[in-house]
Amino acid sequence: TLTLVCNDLVHVALDDHCEALITPDMILEGDYPGLDSDYAITIITRQQDTLNNPLDGAYIGEELTVTIHHVPSGNSCWGKITLEDKWAPVLQCATDTILVACHQSNFPKPAATDNCDASPLVQVVAEEIHNSDPCQGVVVRRVYIAVDDFGNLSDTCSQVFRTENPPAPTFPPDRTFPNSLVNSPNHFRVRPTPFGAGVPNVAQGLYCPFEVSHQDFLGFGCGNTFTIARRWTVSNTCTGEVFEHLQWIRVVDEQGPTVQVPPVSLDLNLPPDNQHEECRSTGFLPAPALSDASGQVLNVRIFTPLGEPVYANGVDGRDGGYIPFPGLPAGVHPVTYHAEDPCGNATDLVVLVEVADRTAPVAVCDEITSVSLSSEGSAVLFADVLDDGSYDLCCVDRFEVRRMNDPCGVSGNTTFGPSVTFCCLDIIQGSVPVIFRVYDCAGNFNDCMVTVQVEDKIEPELISCPPPQTITCDFYLEHIEPAIQSNDFSVLNQFGTPDIWDNCTLIFQSADMQVNLDACKQGTLVRTWVVTDPAQNTPVVCTQTIQVEHISDWGVEFPDDRVLDCGVDDMQVFEAIGEPTIFDQSCELIAVSYEDQLFDVVPDACFKLVRRWTVINWCAVGEEVEDEVVENSEAEIVHVLNGCPLPLPPLPQQGCVFFPPLRPEADLNADGNHSAEPGELVPNDRRTFRDGLNAALFDPVAPLRGAQPDGFITYQQVVKVIDDQPPQLLACDIPPVLIEDNDCSATVILPLPEVEDCVGADLLSFQAQSPLGDGFGPFYDVSPGEYEVLYTVTDNCGNASSCTAVLEVVDVKPPTPYCETGAIIELNQTDPPSITIHASELDAGSFDNCSDELVFSFSSDINDTVKVFDCFQVNLTVAVEVWVHDMSGNSDFCITTLTFSDNAGDCMGDPLVAGAVHTETGEPLPQTLVSVNGTANGTFSTDAEGRYAIPGLLPGGDYSVVPRKDGDDLTGVTTFDLVLITRHILNVQPLESPYRMLAADANRSGAVTTFDVVLLRRLILGIDTALTDSDSWRFVPAAFQFNDPENPFTDPVPEALHFNDLQSPVSDADFVAVKVGDVNLSHSLGSEEVEERQNATLPLYAPERSFLPGEGVLLELAAERERLTGLQFSLAYDPQVLEFRGLGPG
């Protein structure tokens, strides 16, 4: 494969014809195969123009792109070239001496040629002058060089010039100038300028031996014209010849003045009168702008078609003037401005003066007007109605009007026209602004604003109101009430709506519906419409009453007779009895009651229960509740309809109920048959009744089938019970009886045991036997202790069960503590001085309601009975708790204070500094290193109580005490701390104390920021093993007061105590310890319970599902814990299958 490599950049020089042929050899690197004819070369500019080859000098210095293409192989490469011109110009100096006149200033230059520059620059680089004898001529030798456009320099060459003196001078001719170019004779002093009058030729040469002088004679003419007679004298210093010449210089005025007048447009200012039918103008013609070369303008006049104006200065038109009476009418009129100069030159300027009516008419209109809407709901207001005396100087042409907005949607209402239209929508706005416009005959106009009060005086008219209606209660409950309860009153539109007319829209001030129904859903629905229009005219009122009638069409099916065996059936007797089933009771107020009669002597059962049911419909009974109509059952009615007399034969005989098989008109419970259901003792048709319906009244085509409802139905049900099962005692436990007052006794009432029996608790008898006596109490003055209770339960069939329970009477009242107060205690003279105090020594008569023997301790720990006090407490008042415990485990405490003294001075010696290190909650911090720096140095450690002592300090010394503890950075730091810190940063839940805010400042930046959360999270995840900017603990002197507890960073927080000139012991050098990162104080010093963080397992659950490629998946994660404040975890997934898009709230 042929590979072509092009040079990156090639500099190509143009030849002597300013051309360069680009060849493959210039572009390709190294050797290349084939002939030059095998290659095609393309040259383009930066502007993508393709150039011909060879190139010319038009592209010198431009970087061109050259692509060389090997035609046989199709391969190519490209490079860049820059054209350069390195050919120098060629100078051709004359070899002979060149003669020049002595006054000639420009010597001829030699010719220069160049390959690319058609006109190289020729410059003099050196000059030699030989003027020892000017009379014989001056010799000048000049050296030249040529430079082309590209900086190439030619070789130098020289030319020699010799000056020649003329036999006589040439004098300047006479000259005439206009006075517009000359303003004084001084303008013509001898100088070779465009405004000069010329000089003799020999006066201009550098090498001429002549002396030149002149003398002027001045004469003035008109205006600023003048004449100069100039006598020239020229002397030849070589021959002594003198030449003289008189030159005339004249300045003349042949031009008239310049007159300038701006365009003139005048307003009409005179109205028509008896002699003139049209308006005219006697307006002011402006003063002309005048100028003249002489500086003076004379005889300024103005000529109008009516003659000369009334000049403003009373003399001439220099200051303008007014058009004479009777004035010029509207139109364009020629006015001539005439002016002359002192030399009699005159100028006339014709100005076309336009006279026009440009003054708008005066619009006068009614400020407020009223229109009334028609029966079609609209009103047309014509513009001329709004005119209230509008006028114009010349004439008023017409009136027009428009609205500023148009809610009516009338075409042309918002554009000026002869009228505007108003509609009902304008009633809402009330006041409608319109613009009234007055036009004069010249088309000028003016406007004024009118407020139009739109009125509608046509009242609404009631065409018809829907008539009263009557519906049944059932229809109301099924079709009306659900919609009304949903505030959908349109359901009542089936009963009609009012027909009301108005020229505008109707406004329903109210569409009220009152429900006046009693509990039986009987009464009225009153619909009231109050309708007006946008103008609030007298409203129309329409009322419709819908009567809702109550119909007592309810029925009842009573429960079947039952035979219940407690050993077989799992239901209790009273659960198995059942209840009446009421049907078609939607409009009824049904009350069900019963009376039971119990028979203990029954031949085939333990007992028989006869229940007499009474069903009352309070919506149908009269003033006295009585059974006015004795109802027949469905079976009795069918029996009579089938031609059989009452009563029904006793069961199991069916009578005539099944002949024919079904009487639909007598199917009172709508079960579709008259037969007994499987398992029924009494067929349901014998237990089914309709209110007020019996066989004598039954009429299948009459309303309610002929029933005369009285709201009262009775029935008798029989239940037999076979019971040989004893009651089942479910629970015999007795809750403890607590003694809570000062008496050491209680009043006991035994509870009934929890029992289950098929006859129910109402038919059971209970007995209790205990050391307290027979029965359930109350038993008085029962002492603390345990008592055995025997329960016995017997049902009405003689079946019995027993159980034993323990009654515990417990003393729960704590002792009443009394402490010795204000004790001053002297330390024993031991080494070191100390004293041991037992808690019982501080008792001042504590007592208990039950226990004579009490135990005393210094805390809730009953074994904490002894405390040792030493020199640390000297001269201090120490508060201690004295706990009192009774024999029942109850306890309470009192607080007293102890003051310790060292009268013997055994504690005196070198000063010491002592104190305690504890947390914000008072928990001691042991194993804290306390360093002292100053006159003496050393390190001490706090004990289990967090106390420390630094003895042996020199009196008068200066000391700094600094506590330090590090290395347990992760202790107490959890994800919950991160949650609390984040809430503090967001000001959702600020941290509760300044110490917790110091704990949150993990990087000691003096502020709580998100970066602190990042550092603590890295610590929790194990990325960092320790905090880099802080020890794990910080310490603040306990006596330090924060100026702003809500922002402890406003002032520097000390972390050391300083003592200057220490003379006496210090025993209260206490510090508050702050665990960095632990803002919820979850660390537990000395505790064996450690909260796991890195290795804790919390299952997260997500629903199992499948999805298609490209589908967005929302993965909802759930945890088992009910409350989860913070959670930190990583989520692993296959990036080849899923793409993580982000997190959302749960």
Q: What is the pLDDT of residues 380-431, one digit of tens each?
A: 999 999 999 999 999 999 999 999 999 999 999 999 999 999 999 998 888 9
Are 699 and 706 spatial neighbours (Cβ–Cβ below 8 Å)? yes
Residues 565 and 431 in one domain: no
Q: Which of 84, 112, 141 lies at the terminal end of a domain, its last residue?
A: 84
Contact indicator for 618, 589 with CB cutoff of 8 Å: yes
Instruction: Name the residue among 904, 884, 876, 902 with its Cα closest to residue 843.
Output: 884
3-class DSSP state for residue 272? Answer: coil
541 and 587 in a single domain? The answer is no
Residue 1036 lies in a domain: yes
Same domain, 659 and 628: yes
User: Residue 893 falls within a domain, yes or no?
Assistant: yes
Sort 986 into a burial class: Cβ within 10 Å, 0-12 / 13-18 / 19+: exposed
pLDDT tens, position by position, 244-283 = 999 999 989 889 999 999 999 999 988 988 888 889 999 9
Cα separation, 574 vs 785, whole angstroms: 41
pLDDT of residue 273: 84
Domain check: are 990 and 1051 in the same one?
yes
Instruction: Output the pLDDT for position 1089.
Output: 38
Phi and psi angles of residue 132, each rounded to the nearest 5 degrees, phi first: -70, -25
Work out how many domains the chain is built from and give that number.
10
Task: Calculate what percentage of the chain has a pLDDT beyond 70.
Answer: 94
pLDDT, residue 71, reads 92
Choice between 1021 and 1111, residue whose per-residue pLDDT is larger: 1021
Residue 1105 has pLDDT above 80, yes or no: no
Q: Is 762 left (phi over 0), alpha (psi -120 to 50) or beta?
A: alpha
Q: Tell me, what CATH number does 406's domain have?
A: 2.60.40
Provide φ and ψ at 1117, rounded to 5°: -95, 140
Instruction: Give me the residues paired with residue 526 across strands.
Output: 514, 545
The answer to whether residues 280 and 235 belong to one domain is no
Q: How far is residue 151's CA from residue 84's CA, in Å, rounded to a whole number?
A: 11
Q: What is the pLDDT of residue 742?
A: 86
d(CA 13, CA 1102): 80
Report the pLDDT value the prediction gives residue 1087, as an integer from 0 to 100: 40
Domain finish residue from 356, 380, 415: 356
Mark whether 683 and 560 lie in a shared domain. yes
Q: Taking a C-beta distance cutoff of 8 angstroms, is the pair 1000, 1079 a contact?
A: yes
Last residue of a domain, one of 549, 568, 598: 549
Neighbours of 924 (CB within 10 A): 18
803 and 830 part of one domain: no
* The amino acid at 16: D
Q: What is the pLDDT of residues 76-118, one digit of tens each?
A: 999 999 999 999 999 999 999 999 999 887 889 999 999 999 9
Q: Are 637 and 695 a contacting pair, CB within 8 Å?
A: yes
Q: Are residues 693 and 586 in the same domain?
A: yes
pLDDT at 1123: 55
Whether pLDDT at 191 is above 70: no
Q: Is residue 713 part of a domain?
A: no
Question: Tens of pLDDT along 902-936?
Answer: 777 777 666 678 889 999 998 999 999 999 886 66
Question: What integer pLDDT is reported at residue 132 of this predicted model?
Answer: 86
How is residue 252 written in tokens? Answer: 């003349």
CA distance 102 to 237: 14
Mean pLDDT over 6-25 rounds to 93
pLDDT of residue 807: 92
pLDDT for 33 equals: 87
pLDDT of the residue at 417: 95
Whether the predicted pLDDT of 351 surpasses 90: yes
Assess if residue 1097 is contained within a domain. Answer: no
Q: Give phi and psi for 1002, each to the nearest 5.
A: -70, -25
Most confident of 217-226, 228-237, 876-885: 228-237
Q: Are residues 128 and 143 in the same domain?
A: yes
Residue 571 lies in a domain: yes
**For position 282, which CATH number holds?**
2.60.40.60
What CATH number is attached to the domain comprising 1008?
Answer: 1.10.1330.10
Work out the burial of residue 413: count CB atoms within 10 Å of its CB; fewer than 13 is exposed, 13-18 middle, 19 or more buried.
buried
Q: Cis bond leading into 652, ω under 30°? A: yes
What is the spatial distance between Cα 1112 and Cα 654, in angstroms, rounded to a whole number?
72
Q: Please check whether residues 665 and 802 belong to one and the same domain.
A: no
Task: Judge whether 115 lies within some domain.
Answer: yes
Q: What is the model's pLDDT at position 956?
A: 83
pLDDT at 796 over 50: yes
Domain of residue 158, residue span: 90-164
In a domain, residue 443? The reply is yes
Same domain, 348 and 407: no
Same domain, 281 and 345: yes
Task: Determine the average pLDDT of the residues in 804-811.
Answer: 93
In a domain, 805, yes or no: yes
Of the candidates 5, 2, 1, 3, the residue with the CA atom closest to the CA atom of residue 78: 5
Across the range 844-866, mean pLDDT stands at 91
Stretch (H or E) spanning 474: helix 473-475
Mean pLDDT across the chain, nearest whole number?
88
Please state whether the predicted TM-score (pTM) of the whole model is above 0.75: no
Specify the pLDDT at position 935. 62
Give 1108's pLDDT tier (boundaries 50, 70, 90). low
Q: Residue 716: is its pLDDT beyond 80?
A: yes
